[in-house]
Amino acid sequence: MGARMRKLIEFPCAGETLFGTLDEAPGTTGLLIVSGGNEIRVGAHRGMALLAGRLAEAGHPVFRFDRRGVGDSSGENHGFESSPDDIAAAAAAFRQAAPTSPVSPRSAIATRPPPSPSSTPARGSTNWFSPTLG
């Protein structure tokens, strides 16, 4: 595949400015990556950036962003559980920046900070946050 483009995008959320990165690709199925905890959009050891690049090389546009108060985004960080507005704003920015890539709840990956020992989910269960984006 040819050279891919990576764009920095700023967008509004509840009176603050959030920053995201779009890895462009020609595909019609996109991926919105939501990092939990205080992880910035690049990810630990650039992990999210590398993942986004690989998925874009495979033809899928990817959007990742910093929630309010995290990384480059303004505002106060009230934790991952308080981020549905941030996620909805990121989905809208992704739709606008890559209009051929529909974003639905099924195309969002959410990562969360490790649970505390007292809140560890039962074996075989997941620890995913599933916002309604559509």
pLDDT digits (tens, 9 = 90+) for 100-124: 655 554 444 555 444 444 444 444 4
Helix locations, 10-112, DSSP H: 47-57, 84-97
pLDDT digits (tens, 9 = 90+) for 37-77: 788 887 776 889 999 999 999 999 999 999 999 999 999 99
Query: By C-alpha distance, which of 58, 61, 59 is closest to 6?
Result: 61
- Give the CA distances from residue 13 to residues 89, 90, 92, in Å, rounded to whole numbers and listed in that order: 6, 9, 10
Question: Which two three-digit tokens encode residue 105?
Answer: 């709840």
Query: By C-alpha distance, which of 56, 80, 54, 57 is closest to 65?
Result: 80
